[in-house]
Amino acid sequence: MKLKLLILVLALQTAWILGTTFVQEHALSSGKLVLLETRPVDPRDLLRGDYLTLNYKISDVALDLFWPPRTNGLPPGQTVYVALEPRGQFHQVRLASTKPIEPAADYVVLKGRTQTWWTGNARTNVHLAYGLERYYVREGTGNPRGKITVQAAVPSSGQARIKEVFLDGRPYAEAMKGMAR
Amino acid sequence: MKYSDIEKIQKAGLITPEQQRQIVEHFKLKEEGSKFLTVISFVGAVLVACGIILLIAANWEEIPRGVKIAAGLLLMLAAHGGGWYLREVNGQYRKSGEALHLVGSGLFLGNIALLGQIYHLSARPPDAILLWWAGIAALPWLLRSKAQHILALLAFGLWFGMEINQQGSPIYFGEDEYQILLYALLGLVYVGGGYCLRRTAFAEFASPTEKLGLLAFTAASYPLTWGTLYRNQAGLAAVSTWIFPALAALAVVAAALGVLALPDLSRQWRWSWGLALAGLVGLLAGALYVAPHWSVSHEPHAAGYHWVCAGVLFLFCLLQIQVGVQRRSEFMVNLGVAFIALIITATYITLFGSMARTGLVFLGGGVFLILFGIYLEKKRRALMRQMKEPVN
């Protein structure tokens, strides 16, 4: 009985690991791809190692892009849906709302959460986190010089995943090869 | 008196096995032989788990992600499999088996971190720890393992700490020092939980739960004696208003249910100890609801609430030492003595002011600390001797 219960617990742990792997792989392979502009910094996570903190242009959404229109900010932790449309090389914010936006052919919808932020104007902008803010890199390669762009896969749920990060147009790992500190 | 001596006396036929059992139980003697193996095994388990987590953190991009996930999963299952074999099948290396199960539980966290790293998941870090806790929460009861139980308590505490710091969380409590009040209450919930466990089939989990809880409770209450605590009142508006009263109520109920049924305390001591714990909850509530409005000068921390806290905590520690003597708990006595010394040190430092006043405080306080240190150590040794004497 005890062994059976232990097997059940381990099966649940294994199911979560495999289930998460499947969900993430499915989202990466089936989501619509968008290219985003960023500005990185270089911290470290105790468990997962070096990472880039990515701050996107689409992270700050002007209040006048909200529908229905807003005159004041939102409390931290509020879910916001953001429609992105391609403008030139990158995707930019077309519309934002606290209510779900239906995806369409000419734009994709990302789901984000409001955060308090130490830069930007809280009276004219809302700062959002999309779950795309960390990119884990090989130890010692979290100090890039150059322009960083992110290719994200956006599934129908709106919860985007980072598919690839480019440094001056080259895949990050390839661009940083041999540059570990 | 050692366990091995009693064993030798029994083997010589001077006492019966039943008498041996009674002596061992009365003096709470433990087998010394397995202690070394236990320490070595658990240090090894912690090192292995840390090593694997650091290897994950190094993030080797040359290894395909499928291989990384499979390796993480297999290592975790192998650790539990090996642990099961050593504890239940072989049966000779139970502590080593327990250590391997501990590695397995650490590797579940490692696997969560690995998936977060591979797929760059960054939303709500507390969720990863909650998931880890949920994944390992059943193991202590299933494996009857104290080590797993302590790990689960620590994991829950870690999640709680991260959650109350997470903006947007229903229990977000601001990013200032006030969150120590919640840690103290969580400690008291553990203490009460430990007391309640004494009456269940899992009585062996009671002692570590009580010790961890009392340590957290006392350590988190201690900063209340510092004069500089009450300074970040501006952040109070955005915090959860219900978590403190809810946790305080839970802590009082858990402590009351547990204390009133403690078998090793007389009725009078049970009431005294229970009321002392409830009084400390009142002190914590005062720090949150009364102290910020209790201003007698321009400086917010000069209101003097920390003097009340220092006095109350000092008395609480004295009572804790007495309860420790009653319960024959070295841990309670040592913890009480250590915190009395810390409270006096904090009070001494808080008294620093002008050069003249500081000079006098240095002189008076220094002499007092030296003498008090000697007295405290003498008292502690006497209490330890008293506890080790057999009960008439």
For residue range A118-128, list pLDDT tens digits in order: 555 667 889 99
Phi-psi region at B28: left, alpha or beta (left = phi > 0; alpha = psi -120 to 50): left
Q: Residue B32 has which token pair?
A: 């010394």
CA dist B37 and B42 (Å) reads 8
State what percent of residues in chain A have pLDDT above 90.
Answer: 37
Q: Is the pLDDT assigned to residue A163 strictly greater than 60? A: yes
**What pLDDT sits at residue B22?**
82
ipTM confidence score: 0.72
Other C-beta atoms lying within 10 Å of the C-beta of residue B43 = 11
**What pLDDT sits at residue B132?**
96
Q: Is the pLDDT assigned to residue A75 strictly greater than 50? A: yes
Output the average pLDDT for chain A. 85
CA dist B258 and B269 (Å) reads 13
Indicate the DSSP class of residue B30.
-
**What pLDDT sits at residue A52?**
84
Q: Residue A122 has which token pair?
A: 């809280």
Torsion on CA atoms B214, B217, B218, B219, rounded to nearest 10? 110
CA dist A144 and A61 (Å) reads 26
pLDDT in tens, B101-155: 999 999 999 899 889 888 888 768 899 999 999 999 999 999 999 999 999 999 9
pLDDT in tens, B11-62: 888 888 888 878 877 776 766 556 666 777 778 888 887 887 777 777 677 7
Answer for the pair B382, B325: CB distance below 8 angstroms, yes or no.
Answer: no
pLDDT in tens, A34-56: 888 776 555 555 566 788 888 89
Q: Where are the alpha helices (DSSP H) in chain B?
A: 3-11, 17-26, 33-58, 65-84, 94-118, 125-136, 139-143, 146-163, 179-197, 206-221, 243-259, 267-289, 305-327, 330-350, 355-388
Answer for the pair B222, B309: CB distance below 8 angstroms, yes or no.
Answer: no
CA dist B254 and B193 (Å) reads 6
Inform me whether the C-beta atom of residue A163 falls under 8 Å from chain B C-beta atoms: no
Q: Confidence band (pLDDT; 50, 70, 90) for A97?
A: very high
pTM metric for this prediction: 0.78
Contacts of A5 in chain B (CB under 8 A): 138, 142
Q: pLDDT: is B386 or A85 the higher one?
A: A85
Contacts of A48 in chain B (CB under 8 A): 56-57, 59, 113-114, 116-117
Residues A6-17 have a mean pLDDT of 93
CA dist B173 and B232 (Å) reads 12
Residue type for position B120: H
Nearest to B321 by CA among B310, B332, B309, B313: B332
Q: Confidence band (pLDDT; 50, 70, 90) for B300?
A: very low
Q: Which residues of B touch A (CB under 8 A)?
A: 53, 56-61, 69, 72-73, 76-77, 80, 84, 88, 108-111, 113-123, 131, 135, 138-139, 142-143, 167-169, 172, 238
Sole residue written with tokens 């009857």: B144
Residue of B nearest to A45 (CA): B57
Other C-beta atoms lying within 10 Å of the C-beta of residue B210 = 23
Q: Confidence band (pLDDT; 50, 70, 90) for B65?
A: confident
**What pLDDT sits at residue B238?**
67
B140 upstream amide cis, omega within 30 of 0? no
Q: Report the gap between the CA of B95 and the closest CA in chain A (Å).
A: 18
